[in-house]
């Protein structure tokens, strides 16, 4: 039996800022650790570093060690700046100088959670696509207009690797593992963490409506709540207008101005998100989900789902390994 080929090591360093997000860093590191275990080789290294080598405290009050001084980390394939709460206070002039120096040396740079703020502050995301935790999206767009901020879970643009917080770093690492080791290894790592699917860079982070528009837009929040409460039997725009005390034209203007979309599109995306949750988290048949989310028929549901996510509803269940649920008619199954 042939022994597996020995691959060159890959080194991702994690530069922890004061009050960094522990869950973001842990998700990233655990993906690399599991890839080593699955491969049976020490392919990845993940040193923790700080500017002076002192261990930084995470936002939850815990510490990760050992921590190296940045000057001792040696060559790295990517350096990730790890942010968390109060990131503006955590970004010092010394840090900005170091990041610019690393960029001059062509070191690939990334940001986890709010770490992208440090890169943007240093001018290292100008004319790059990037993302950051949804709480910081609006502020970053306002302060750094040259950064092409998106709302994806993670973004890779040339030698910049940025992502949101929480579990998004796990998705980014799975993507990097897939690029290096193939989709099979990435899938095996995700299975170890009991993930339903490997999310892509086209997946958007969920941003609560209140965070997108602020609490002052109570009329728009009220309209969105009406939609949320009427998923199974979607309301017409006329009915929503009547219940909210607004005119149809007022609602359309609100959605265009605040969300840059039409109400019908927003309502459809809401119903498709609910459908995805039901596909992944329940044993409901696709026919039942079609009805529960207000679609006219399984073929109509499939068409809308494919247009939104790039694949039919049945693909979600294949990824998760669920069988086709009894109760779907042959015609319905054939349609999806």
Fold of 262-336: Arc Repressor Mutant, subunit A (1.10.10)
DSSP per residue, 104-141: HTT--EEEETTHHHHHHHTT-STTSEE---GGGHHHHH
Q: What is the mean pLDDT of residues 273-298?
A: 88
Residue 2 has pLDDT above 60, yes or no: no
The residues facing 44 across adjacent strands are 10
Q: How many CB atoms lie within 10 A of CB 238?
A: 11
Q: What is the mean pLDDT of residues 227-249?
A: 93
Residue 322 has pLDDT above 60, yes or no: no
Q: Is the pTM of this model over 0.85?
A: no
Q: Read off the pLDDT band of 319 (50, 70, 90).
A: low
The separation between the first and the last C-alpha atoms of the chain, rounded to the nearest angstrom, is: 42
Residues with Cβ within 8 Å of residue 104, at least 6 apart in sequence: none
Residue 119 has pLDDT above 60, yes or no: yes
Q: Where are the alpha helices (DSSP H) in the chain?
A: 22-39, 87-90, 93-104, 115-121, 137-143, 168-181, 183-192, 209-213, 218-228, 237-244, 248-259, 263-281, 286-292, 298-309, 313-320, 330-335
Give the CA radius of gyration of the chain.
23
19-58 pLDDT, tens digit each: 999 999 999 999 999 999 999 999 999 999 999 999 999 9
Torsion angle of the four alpha carbons 180, 182, 186, 191, in this order, in degrees rounded to the nearest 10: -160
148-204 pLDDT, tens digit each: 998 889 999 999 999 999 999 999 999 999 999 999 999 999 999 988 777 888 887
In this structure, which CATH number among 3.40.50.1820, 3.60.15.10, 3.40.50.880, 1.10.3720.10 belongs to the domain 10-192? 3.40.50.880
Rounded to whole angstroms, the Cα distance separating 169 from 175 reads 10
- 80, 14 Cβ separation under 8 angstroms: yes
């Amino acid at each position: 039996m042939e022994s597996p080929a020995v691959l060159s090591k890959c080194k991702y360093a994690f530069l922890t800022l004061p009050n960094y997000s522990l869950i973001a860093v842990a998700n990233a590191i655990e993906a690399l650790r599991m890839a080593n275990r699955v491969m049976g080789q020490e392919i990845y290294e993940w040193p923790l570093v700080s500017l002076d080598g002192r261990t930084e405290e995470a936002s939850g009050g815990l510490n990760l060690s050992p921590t190296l001084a940045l000057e001792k980390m040696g060559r790295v394939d990517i350096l990730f700046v790890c942010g968390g709460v109060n990131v503006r206070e955590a970004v010092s002039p010394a840090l900005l100088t170091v990041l610019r120096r690393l960029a001059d040396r062509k070191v690939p740079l990334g940001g986890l959670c709010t770490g992208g703020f440090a890169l943007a502050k240093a001018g290292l995301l100008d004319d790059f696509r990037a993302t950051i935790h949804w709480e910081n999206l609006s502020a970053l767009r306002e302060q750094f207009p040259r950064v092409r901020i998106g709302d994806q879970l993670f973004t890779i643009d040339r030698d910049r690797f940025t992502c949101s917080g929480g579990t998004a770093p796990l998705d980014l690492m799975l993507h990097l593992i897939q690029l290096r080791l193939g989709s099979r290894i990435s899938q095996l790592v995700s299975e170890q963490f009991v993930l339903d699917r490997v999310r892509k860079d086209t997946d958007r982070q969920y941003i609560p409506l209140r965070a997108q528009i602020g609490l002052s837009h109570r009329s728009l929040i009220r309209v969105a709540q009406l939609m949320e409460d009427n998923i199974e039997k979607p309301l017409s725009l006329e009915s929503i207008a009547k219940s909210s005390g607004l005119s149809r034209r007022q609602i359309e203007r609100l959605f265009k101005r605040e969300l840059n979309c039409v109400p019908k599109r927003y309502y459809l995306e809401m119903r498709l998100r609910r459908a995805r949750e039901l596909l992944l988290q329940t044993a409901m048949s696709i026919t039942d989900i079609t009805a529960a989310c207000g679609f006219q028929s399984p073929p109509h549901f499939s068409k809308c789902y494919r247009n939104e996510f790039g694949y039919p509803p049945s693909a979600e269940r294949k990824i998760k390994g669920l069988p086709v649920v009894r109760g779907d008619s042959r015609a319905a199954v054939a349609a999806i």
